[in-house]
Structure 1
Amino acid sequence: MQGQNISDVIEHYLKAMLDSSRQVEISRAEIAQHFNCVPSQINYVIKTRFTPQRGYVVESKRGGGGYIRILKVHLRDDQDLISLMAENIPQALRERDGQALIQQLYDAALIDRQAGNMMLAVLSHQTLNMGDREAEDELRSRLLLAFLDSLRYER
């Protein structure tokens, strides 16, 4: 271990845990205590070493009973269309434009009918009716971006 800094050691430890499972759930405080470091060191390692570009998705829950879940994922082969769509989604997305994008995903066989229908329901005016059209369109845009981001990985 000579020549390794604490971040390298923590990264190695977490990756060893992931070798036996595609996902791990950790307590930031427990890992920090295990390595006798500050919890922000754990945050740093997770934020810089366990990124989507490196094949990881990180989910967290704060507060009592909180956790950090690290999932090892595989990039999909059809990244071009998903990336192109994500790059071109406006900050505010009208319902009909959202419907057209979902249809494109279905036509390209990136989603099945059930997933498409669920997203259409989530993005609908009936669901998102906030009384403020601009806020609704902005929320629709963020939701579709999150959906596209989830399509980048196979779980």
Structure 2
Amino acid sequence: MRNISDIIEQHLKMILQQSKNGLIEIQRSELADKFQCVPSQINYVISTRFTTEKGYLVESKRGGGGYIRIRKVEILRSKNLYSLLMDMIGDEMSQSQAEDMVGRLQEEEIISHREAQIMRAAISRDVLSFQVQIRDKLRAVIMRAMITQIFMHG
């Protein structure tokens, strides 16, 4: 059985797909009421499942009339995408951030399923068995090298 986070994520993705402009605005409290959960559960789903690496922009306005705006960002194959990915990688990258990026590249058919599996293996904390800070820096270097290969030779 799926957990409440999965159900909320699927609901948000469904209404996002149905939106004409790839943008939705939701009220945290209304969504929490709909799914009979606490608003922090909604925050958790949005902060973990609708990340920049997964291709979403999220804006939040707090307060009485507060809302959360989620926008699906379309990827265009270009030098701009290459630069954007390099900026997102930065000097350090966690395993989850890297896996989200790999997942998005696969979803956009920039890489194949097999290439995604190879990339995930190379960035795994099981393979990069160093102290966290060293591991995250090394993962960023590896991701930059792989992304460069994809865009320069892909």
Output the TM-score relative to the length of structure 2.
0.51
Q: Which amino acid aligns with 1:25?
A: E
Using the alignment, how far apart are the partners of 2:24 and 2:43 within structure 1?
Answer: 15
List per-residue Cα deviations over 1:53-104 (Å, max 9, x = no partner): 111110111112110000011123222234556749xxxxxxxxxxxxxxxx
The Cα RMSD (Å) is 1.9
1:54 aligns with 2:54: yes
List per-residue Cα deviations over 1:6-58 (Å, max 9, x = no partner): 00010111111011111110000010011000000000000111111111110
How is 1:11-50 mapped onto 2 (pairs within 5 angstroms)? 11-21=9-19, 22-50=22-50
Which residue does the alignment assign to 2:102? none
Q: Which amino acid aligns with 1:81?
A: S
How is 1:59-70 mapped onto 2 (pairs within 5 angstroms)? 59-70=59-70
Question: Of the candidates 80, 101, 106, which is equivalent to residue 82 of structure 2?
Answer: 80
Q: 1:12 to 1:81 in 2, by over 3 A?
A: closer
Q: Which amino acid aligns with 2:46?
A: I
Using the alignment, how far apart are the partners of 2:82 and 2:18 within structure 1?
Answer: 31
Q: 1:65 to 1:5 in 2, by over 3 A?
A: same
Output the TM-score relative to the length of structure 1.
0.51
Q: Find the residue that maps to 2:59 and give its secondary structure.
A: strand
List per-residue Cα deviations over 1:106-151 (Å, max 9, x = no partner): xxxxxxxxxxxxxxxxxxxxxxxxxxxxxxxxxxxxxxxxxxxxxx
Q: 1:71 to 1:36 in 2, by over 3 A?
A: same
Give the length in aligned residue pairs: 86
Structure 1 gap segments, 5+ residues each: 89-155
Structure 2 gap segments, 5+ residues each: 92-154
Larger radius of gyration: 1
